[in-house]
Amino acid sequence: METVTDTDFLKLVQTEKFVVVLFNKPNCKECEDAEHELAMARESLVDEFNAWVVKLVSSPLAKLYLAKTVEPAIVFFRHGVPLLYHGSINEDDLISKFRRFQDPVVKELNDETFEHLTQASTGATTGDWLVMFYKNTCITSQRLQALWEAVGAELKGRLNVARVDKSGAGAATGRRFEIKDTPSFVLFRHGKMFSYELDSVTVQNFVDFATDFFRNSKAQNIPAPKSPFDDFTEMIVDKMKDNPQVVKLGSIVFSVLVLLGILIKFSRKAQDKNEKKKT
């Protein structure tokens, strides 16, 4: 199987519709077995999907796409969106999963679409939703993209898996649910919400939580969307927390203005006294 550089690999992801990559490391029996199975599936992947099948050895990019998963690991890139392979590494299973998930499965929700698609407040007809709240600037969130796609693949047909960018188009939704940290994971089910509170982030843990383990978490009532005034107030608070230097600068400016006001007040008093003396 062809070994490519990190640079060449990134170019492939940007330009090719389908790329399958094996993250590998030297002197690893499991890595050799995984490479053998992927090599067996390579011809089918190339013929059926015109996919590029390559490997990276001891690549620093593994930290970006594998989260806490260790090599060997296989990631499918479909239209540039990574899916961390979860399952037995054998030819039949690899081909089967690639056929089923040629398109991204995780839905991107925002302030305009969240309530309409999830019907979170009513718990109505669209089913349960497992949602990751993230920020584009959060490195941990970026590293979970491939794993979150894998969660979506495992839960497809049972419930919906989605993402909300609380630093961008989903900011008001993040404030509505009082999401403070990213990434944060919430299951919306039957008009209630359940927060994922485990430290471990694996595909199986998320699947277990969404299908059964959520019962061990506290069920919370789903808040209604905030009023424009309350949301604006919360937005200001978030901005101050995210930009403490602005708060510090604002405090300095406020102090200067107060001091200036005091000086003006004393100056006016002194001026009034002088005028009284003259009269």
- Rounded to whole angstroms, the Cα distance separating 235 from 232 reads 5
Contact predicate 35/1, CB 8 Å: yes
Strand runs labelled E in 94-138: 107-109, 129-134
Note the residue count of the chain: 279
Q: Where are the alpha helices (DSSP H) in 194-227?
A: 203-211
Consecutive H or E run containing 32: helix 29-49
Per-residue pLDDT of the chain (279 residues; tens, 9 = 90+): 899 999 999 999 999 999 999 999 999 999 999 999 999 999 999 999 999 999 999 999 999 999 888 899 999 999 999 999 999 889 999 999 999 999 999 999 999 999 999 998 887 788 999 999 999 999 999 999 999 999 999 999 999 999 999 999 999 999 999 999 999 999 999 999 999 999 899 999 999 999 999 999 999 999 988 777 777 776 776 667 666 664 455 555 555 555 666 666 656 665 666 666 555
Give the global pTM.
Answer: 0.82
DSSP letters for 234-255? HHHHHHHHH-HHHHHHHHHHHH
